[in-house]
């Protein structure tokens, strides 16, 4: 069923055919979209896309979960990513592939609906992240794994992230920290959390979180540097004895946490293990460590 021609848009009645970007669609209405965030960095040779295969696998897994046929192979998708970077003549930046049900169709039946697939790219300089964020454990609990498939990155899930984000911001904090429905630490709105205690790196086990690709990189890098990593269920009280806390995500890479309301207040600037991991991560993404060359797809 197609919508009628006249719509209200930004204060005016206008005809759909004249509206440049608007179309009613299920992607917007129901969060029926999937996306990825991918970074590429300058290397000594040419731009290199970091962990492109893993991002591609997750994007295709998300598509399958939401019944989408992307109409191209993983190889073609990876080539499209590189083509987008080349077309913009960029040496470093952030890519956002997005697929959504774009047919102006009413109702929840997405089966067979038309899809739009786009890849946007932003030029980003690869500067070291020196931010220190203040977090609040929010009342909104993380989505329960029995209600969603956490291995997929589906737009609709982010309603949950947004509620927590607003709750944190309204209380004067930068970012929310979510607990799962059983009260264990889960993750941030769009990032995973790591806690350093007595030289050991702890992170919530996968299952109740979107276990990110950066999280995976950090676990492997830490292991290679001889830092012990423990993935387990953690109660918020565990944060009280933390020496360092940081967040991970493709965009932020590693980001220091300075405070978590009522649980953690880091007075000193010393973040030895975070520094070590961050330095190593940056050497790896810019193609300076041979051991990790297979994480980089050169253009």
Three-state secondary structure call for residue 284: helix
Examine the residue annotation and report whether 266 is marked as an active-site residue of this protein: no
Burial of 129 by CB count in 10 Å (0-12 exposed, 13-18 middle, 19+ buried)? middle
Shortest separation between residue 210's beta carbon and ligand PMP, angstroms: 4
Chain centroid offset of residue 278 CA:
18
Shortest separation between residue 152's beta carbon and ligand PMP, angstroms: 11
Compose the 21-50 pattern: x for residues touching ligand PMP by CB under 6 A, - for all others.
----------------x-------------
DSSP 80-110: HHHHHHHHHT-SSEEEEEEEEE-S---SS--
Give the integer Cα–Cα distance in Å for 148 and 43.
38
Interface residue with ligand PMP, options 70, 81, 210, 221 (CB under 6 A): 210
By the rule CB under 6 A, 214 interacts with ligand PMP: yes
By the rule CB under 6 A, 212 interacts with ligand PMP: yes
CA distances from 158 to 35, 100, 165 (A): 11, 14, 10
Within 13 Å of residue 150, how many CA atoms lie on the same side as its CB? Answer: 21
Applying CB under 6 A, the span of 10-18, 122-130, 209-217, 287-295 interacting with ligand PMP comes to 209-217
Return the sign of the alpha-carbon dihedral for residues 145, 58, 296, 38. negative
By the rule CB under 6 A, 187 interacts with ligand PMP: yes
Shortest separation between residue 162's beta carbon and ligand PMP, angstroms: 11
Q: How many residues bind ligand PMP (CB under 6 A)?
A: 14
Which lies closer to ligand PMP via its Cβ, residue 50 or residue 101? Answer: 50
By the rule CB under 6 A, 250 interacts with ligand PMP: yes
By the rule CB under 6 A, 56 interacts with ligand PMP: no
Three-state secondary structure call for residue 261: coil
The single residue of 12, 153, 259, 267 carrying the catalytic annotation is 153
By the rule CB under 6 A, 62 interacts with ligand PMP: no
Residues that bind ligand PMP (CB under 6 A): 37, 161, 187, 190-192, 210, 212-215, 248-250
């Amino acid at each position: 069923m197609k919508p009628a021609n006249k719509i209200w848009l930004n204060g005016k009645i206008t005809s759909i055919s004249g509206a440049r970007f608007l179309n009613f669609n299920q992607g917007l209405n129901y969060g029926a979209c999937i996306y990825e965030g991918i970074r590429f960095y300058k290397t000594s040779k040419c731009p290199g896309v970091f962990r492109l295969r893993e991002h591609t696998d997750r994007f295709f897994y998300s598509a399958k979960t939401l019944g989408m046929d992307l109409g191209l192979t993983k190889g073609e998708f990876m080539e499209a990513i590189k083509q987008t970077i080349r077309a913009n003549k960029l040496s470093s930046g952030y890519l956002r592939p997005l697929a959504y049900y774009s047919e102006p169709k009413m109702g929840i039946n997405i089966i067979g609906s038309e899809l739009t697939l786009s890849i946007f790219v932003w030029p980003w300089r690869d500067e070291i992240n020196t931010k220190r964020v203040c977090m609040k454990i929010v009342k909104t609990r993380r989505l329960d794994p029995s209600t969603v498939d956490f291995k997929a990155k589906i737009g609709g899930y982010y309603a949950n992230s947004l509620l927590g984000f607003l709750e944190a911001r309204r209380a004067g904090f930068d970012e929310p920290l979510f607990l799962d429905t059983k009260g264990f630490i889960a993750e941030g709105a769009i990032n995973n959390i790591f806690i350093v205690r007595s030289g050991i790196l702890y992170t919530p086990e996968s299952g109740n979180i979107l276990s990110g690709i950066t999280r995976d990189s950090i676990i492997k890098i830490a292991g290679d540097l001889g830092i012990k990593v423990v993935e387990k269920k953690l109660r918020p009280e565990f944060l009280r004895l933390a020496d360092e806390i940081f967040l991970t995500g493709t965009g932020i890479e590693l980001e220091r946490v300075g405070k978590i309301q009522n649980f953690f207040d880091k007075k000193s600037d010393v973040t030895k293990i975070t520094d070590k991991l961050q330095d190593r991560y940056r050497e790896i993404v810019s193609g300076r460590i041979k051991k990790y060359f297979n994480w980089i797809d050169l253009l």
